[in-house]
Structure 1
């Protein structure tokens, strides 16, 4: 049940980010719906295609309904959402936290290896945002120095490790999602980064 909720949450909050980007560009509703839907289901679609399992939103159209509801909500309340302060980045952070766990859990459920499960968690958590930023011609967060992909890696890796240690799935999911959210939240609030590759040629 918790993993199902995380899946819906991941789709919803990533759809919010797509809708926000479209609203900022003053696009029409159909374009906003497109942005929200592609962003919401993008990461999970890549995951399922790579795992060779039925694509989740084809099997359950509720996910598309979630994207539609989010699109209408953003269309009506975009101005209020913007007043919340960094809504795009925080929605993205919640999406990373939920989807890094869900992606890893789904890979483990079909019997894939530990490394594949972690990679699927990272891919699920980041690919929707990459699609969104590419279509919108915006700089992608994954190429910025602050913690982003690393948060997804920490969430997926924590979930996999805790699961292998026998931690109950619900607890493992909550702990892992919290770790990812704290790391990404620290990057948003405090500018947390990991050491980058130095220009050694210039030294």
Structure 2
């Protein structure tokens, strides 16, 4: 299996995992099957769609309908499975971290190849990795994950930054991609295992949040 083939496989795997997170959000809100499929779809391809629209290139899933089939089929399978069994949350978190790493790298690489400046390349990497989750959370009426304490977008940012540096200073593009993915995945997994998070923004004059009190 070539390196590009492996990346494509991981991209499809990340698409499935992101779709499942959308499906689980739909389950929490008790949406019907159609609503679940829609939420899974926008979660899985939302970031890449916005990226391609801004880059003014054909939206990737309109050119490769395999992504649509993968999302719909996996969503239907999980929709039935989740009625009788629980999806292991630890496994889902690991695969989600891997999906974030792959999406970040693919988004940043696409912008880099189109000749954008380094800060813009990093922004497109983050956008590809996290926007789908933002759309998901907004649609179900929750505060998006990246706006909470979670180290999520931060991991994407650092990984995209490593990718840009690697493209400039490492001769092997494959090595730069691999290092960037390791950074994103590693930071996300450490944050999950150690329960690390960013400091909460608190204003002296703001009232305390009592939403978590019984």
TM-score by length of 1: 0.88
Structure richer in helix, relative to its length: 1
Gaps in structure 1 of 5+ consecutive residues: none
Correspondence 1:72 to 2:76:
yes
Q: 1:80: how far off? A: 6.8
1:94 pairs, out of 64, 81, 98, with 98
Moved more, 170-179 or 44-53: 170-179
Match of 2:210? none
Distance in 1 between residues matched to 2:110 and 2:39, nearest whole Å = 25
Q: 1:22 to 1:198 in 2, by over 3 A?
A: closer
Q: Following the alignment from structure 2 to structure 1, what is the Cα–Cα distance between the partners of residues 23 and 115?
A: 35
What do residues 64-113 of structure 1 show as CA deviations (whole Å, max 9, x unaligned)?
01111220221122257635135654443232111111110111121212
TM-align CA RMSD: 2.2
* 3-state DSSP of counterpart to 1:108: helix
Within the candidate set 100, 107, 112, 1:103 is matched to 107
Q: Match for 1:38 among 37, 42, 45?
A: 42
1:141 aligns to what? 145
Confirm whether residue 53 of structure 1 aligns to residue 64 of structure 2. Answer: no
Bigger CA drift: 126-135 or 57-66? 57-66
Distance 1:80 1:174, change over 3 A: farther
Tell me the residue number matched to 1:165: 169
Distance 1:87 1:3, change over 3 A: closer
Say whether the 8 Å CA contact 2:170–2:176 is kept in structure 1: no
Please tell me whether the aligned partners of residues 16 and 91 of structure 1 are also in contact (alpha carbons under 8 angstroms): no
Provide the aligned length of Structure 1 versus Structure 2: 202
Whether 1:131 aligns to 2:135 is: yes
8 Å Cα contact 2:14/2:95 also seen in 1: no
Residue 182 of structure 1: aligned partner: 186
Pick from 136, 150, 156 the counterpart of residue 152 of structure 1: 156
- Secondary structure at the counterpart of residue 89 of structure 2: coil
Give the whole-Å Cα distance in 2 for the aligned partners of 1:3 and 1:15: 18
Q: 1:28 to 1:196 in 2, by over 3 A?
A: closer
Deviates more, 1:82-91 or 1:57-66: 82-91
